[in-house]
Amino acid sequence: MSRRPYVAANWKMNKTASEADEFLDSFLPSQSADGPEVVLCPPWLALERVAGRCAGTPVRVAAQNMFYEDSGAFTGEVSAPMLLDIGVDGAVLGHSERRQFFGESDESLALKVPKAIEAGLEPILCVGESRAERESNDTEAVLSHQVLTDLAEVHSDDLGKVVIAYEPVWAIGTGLVATPEQAQEACEFIRNLLRTRDSERAGQVRILYGGSVKPDNAGELMALPDIDGALVGGAALDPADFGAIVAASSAG
């Protein structure tokens, strides 16, 4: 099944609104509707600015998190209606840094993912194992728990609306990269998990690799049969580097 390549830039806690403008000045003119699907994920205070500037362009915008209630006494949280109101298209959910530093749980994600779909936002669900878990040969057990728990309340008809990012935690910001064999093996395992839910829609789900993706390794990774793109961190902060990764996805 043909799946359109998908490349997302996770800026994390980087770039002020004015710095985001500088990035867009350089990056947006090079983007074409004929290329891969490109998504920028700015921090909260740049989100509305980036969404406004990307409106009418081929580039889409996602938040770095989202709460599962529409409103209420949830200090510091942002809801799906708030994101939709400023033109946001999706939300990164369950990034390993959210899990590690802010206590994000699979039980919480089991509420967030279907809420995003219900609201019309595209969830980019992040899953992946730590170095200790890989060294203990627990990668498949970890991925099984995360994927099946986080998607438990997603109707099978909606599986194709989810983007999944496999991000081995030991490769994020470390300079380490999963070998092509390791990356393909994990992403194929994730797709096979989805097939236990719905074999047809499992083929529609785009699975990304995330973890020290750079211009010089992006093409090889994204040419693999079960890797449909990348969730890019550090290299996404530079418009030339991120543009090169987008181009590598097109070539793949």
What contacts 233, CB < 8 A, 6 or more positions away?
10, 12, 172, 173, 210, 212, 213
Alpha-carbon distance of 96 to 172, in angstroms, equals: 9
Query: pTM of this prediction?
Result: 0.96
Helix (H, G, I), strand (E, B) or coil at 7: strand
136 confidence band (pLDDT: 50, 70, 90):
very high
252 confidence band (pLDDT: 50, 70, 90):
low
* Position 173 pLDDT exceeds 90: no
Q: What pLDDT was estimated at residue 191?
A: 98
Q: What pLDDT was estimated at residue 172?
A: 78
Cα 197 from chain centre:
21
Mean predicted confidence (pLDDT) in 159-167:
97
Q: What pLDDT was estimated at residue 146?
A: 98
Q: What pLDDT was estimated at residue 176?
A: 76
What contacts 53, CB < 8 A, 6 or more positions away?
21, 24, 28
What contacts 246, CB < 8 A, 6 or more positions away?
7, 31, 35, 36, 38
134 confidence band (pLDDT: 50, 70, 90):
very high
Helix (H, G, I), strand (E, B) or coil at 224: coil
Mean predicted confidence (pLDDT) in 186-203:
96
Q: What pLDDT was estimated at residue 202?
A: 96
Q: What pLDDT was estimated at residue 174?
A: 78
* Position 175 pLDDT exceeds 80: no
Looking at domain 6-238, its CATH class is: alpha beta
* Position 249 pLDDT exceeds 70: yes
Q: What pLDDT was estimated at residue 251?
A: 66
Amino acid letter, residue 82: M
Alpha-carbon distance of 122 to 117, in angstroms, equals: 6
Q: What percent of the chain has pLDDT over 90?
A: 91
Task: Give residue limits of the domains in the chain.
Answer: 6-238
What contacts 54, CB < 8 A, 6 or more positions away?
24, 28, 40, 60, 61, 87
CA distances to 47, 141, 244 from 67, rounded to whole Å, are 16, 27, 33
Over residues 195-205, the pLDDT tens digits come to: 999 999 999 99
Alpha carbon dihedral 101, 243, 202, 221, in 10-degree steps, equals -90
Residue reference for tokens 């093409």: 219
Over residues 71-93, the pLDDT tens digits come to: 999 999 999 999 999 999 999 99
* Position 245 pLDDT exceeds 80: yes
Over residues 92-126, the pLDDT tens digits come to: 999 999 999 999 999 999 999 999 999 999 999 99
Over residues 212-225, the pLDDT tens digits come to: 899 999 999 999 99
Q: What pLDDT was estimated at residue 2?
A: 84
Q: What pLDDT was estimated at residue 178?
A: 85
Question: Contact, 160 vs 120, CB < 8 A?
Answer: no
Mean pLDDT of the residues in the chain: 95
Tell me which residues are annotated as active site.
95, 167
Q: What percent of the chain has pLDDT over 70?
A: 99
